[in-house]
Amino acid sequence: MEKSIRVRLMGREYALRVAPEHEERTRAYAAYVDRKLQAFRSAHPDQSETTAALITALALAEELFAAREEAETLRKATEEELAALERRLGSALATP
């Protein structure tokens, strides 16, 4: 069953419904987003909250896609290394 929690973003509270096991993670995500929003607002105080939210969303999307790309690169490298190890092991076991 979901529970209601409140998180604060740019000084405003928002009610969210989350599974109890996701509450801590959701709060951590909200705190991270709030830090990013506050950093943008500090660097660009003349920009509106909407602009801050949109630019921050784009920056977070960029982080997400970069992390996905890095994970895919690591996955491929791991698969290649495992294949090489498998070949070496096969050769070692086949050698009398």
pLDDT digit string, tens, across residues 33-87: 999 999 999 999 999 999 999 999 999 999 999 999 999 999 999 999 999 999 9
Q: What is the pLDDT of residue 55?
A: 98
Q: What is the pLDDT of residue 96?
A: 73
What is the number of other CB atoms lying within 10 angstroms of the CB of residue 31?
A: 13
In the chain, which ranges are E strands? 3-9, 12-18
Q: What is the pLDDT of residue 95?
A: 76
pTM for the structure as a whole:
0.80
Q: In the block, which residue shows the tokens 């998180």? A: 7
| 62-76 core/surface letters (b: 16 or more CB in 10 A; e: else) | eeeeeeeeeeeeeee
DSSP symbol at 22: G
Burial class (CB in 10 A: 0-12, 13-18, 19+), 37: buried
